[in-house]
Amino acid sequence: MSEWNRVRFKTKSDDYRPIKFPPPGPYWVSGQTLEGVDDIMVFILVAWCKDESQIKEYWPEAYDFEPSDNTYPEIVYSERFSRPKWYEEKQ
């Protein structure tokens, strides 16, 4: 069984959702900001994946990756990042 990694990244898209659904693990929008001289909307996401390449597969416009320092045998939820309803149904 492969390990999970939690990756934080940014996307400059009008729609923060993955281009394919469902992604391998749950994801959350953890923030948004305006960037650049043109004030382009940027979403900050956190997603669980088996391999960082899955982030680019599901969010091709993703950049500025910050993977967690550890891998995990299972997805870890918290009060801030609770299990999404769609992911419950996927199980």
Proportion of the chain above pLDDT 70, given as a percent:
96
Residue linked to tokens 């599901």: 58
8: which 2 tokens?
Answer: 């934080």
Give the pLDDT confidence score for residue 1 in this predicted structure. 57
**pTM for this one?**
0.89
The average confidence (pLDDT) of the chain is 92
Report the Cα–Cα distance between both ends of the chain, in Å, rounded: 16
DSSP assignment of 14-25, as one string? S--S-SSSS-SS
| Per-residue pLDDT tens over the stretch 41-83 | 999 999 999 998 999 999 999 999 999 999 999 999 999 999 9
Residue type at 68?
Answer: S
Q: Is the pLDDT of residue 89 over 80?
A: no
